Structure 1
Amino acid sequence: MKRNVRLVVARLRQRLTAAGNPGLFQALRDGAAEGRSTGRHRRVD
């Protein structure tokens, strides 16, 4: 099940980079990484 997450992330990454928004993807990626350590999914700055 978790393997599918990589495919979804890859697709989102392609879409965002194609849209010219790599910064947004980076923000989502950082938020996900922090979510794993803190138990939160999103971090509001």
Structure 2
Amino acid sequence: MKVIMVTGAEESSIVAEANSLGIQKYIHKPLILEELEKIVMKELNAA
């Protein structure tokens, strides 16, 4: 299962942990909904 993580945290340790857990994308808040939609559609089409 693909996972896209949306968070306000920017610490490199959190990014490293997310990568080790298999997170495909790591998006920082605040985000633009259109940007999230593009990322989700790209990941779905790659499946």
Same fold (TM over 0.5): no
TM range (shorter): 0.3 to 0.5
What TM-score does the superposition give when structure 2 sets the normalisation length?
Answer: 0.40
What TM-score does the superposition give when structure 1 sets the normalisation length?
Answer: 0.41
Greater fraction helix: 1
Greater fraction strand: 2
| Higher relative contact order (Cα pairs below 8 Å, separated by 6+ residues) | 2
